[in-house]
Amino acid sequence: YRPNHLNDYTMADGWDLFRTEKSNTAMTVFRQLAREAPHDGGPKIGYAIAAADAGWLSRGVRAMRRAFYIDPDAANGLALDSRFERKLNRLAWKYRGRSHGISEKDARFMQASIYYLLSDKDACFQAIEQSRKTRDSSQSTRNLYRMAEEYL
């Protein structure tokens, strides 16, 4: 199935593009879906992950913070296959290196978010605590912590 128009894409299409190494196209799909549903965190999470995978680490942070700020529940129920898990683990490692001028606070928040998506409770809480040590008291981080306590 290949939609003829950008408006014909779904979240599943965006994730399929991401899984098949087409992160730039996935970013475009998720951006459009986010515009169509501004209070839905799902497309913002998709955009965050695709942007980070495409090398836009700071865009990934901004989108993920926005997702956890407006709709933290959107992070639940993401279907992960082994390819998706490997890609997420690789992204967590990218943020660990804090390349592209990412602050310590943002890198740790993004790692915690990725570990949350991977349902890795210990790594998620460790990254949240490291983020808090950098004085990250943002609502997105508080929401992520609450979600991790409740669901992991």
pLDDT digits (tens, 9 = 90+) for 28-86: 999 999 999 999 999 999 999 999 999 999 999 999 999 999 999 998 978 888 989 99
Q: What is the DSSP letter of 4?
A: S
Do 117 and 75 touch, CB atoms closer than 8 A? yes
pLDDT digits (tens, 9 = 90+) for 127-143: 999 988 999 999 999 99
Report the alpha-carbon distance of residue 38 to residue 35 in Å, rounded. 5
Confidence of residue 1 (pLDDT cuts 50, 70, 90): very low
| pTM value surpassing 0.85 | yes
13-30: burial string, b at 16+ Cβ within 10 Å, e else: bbbebbeeebbebbbbbb
Which spans in 82-138 are helix H? Answer: 82-96, 104-117, 121-133
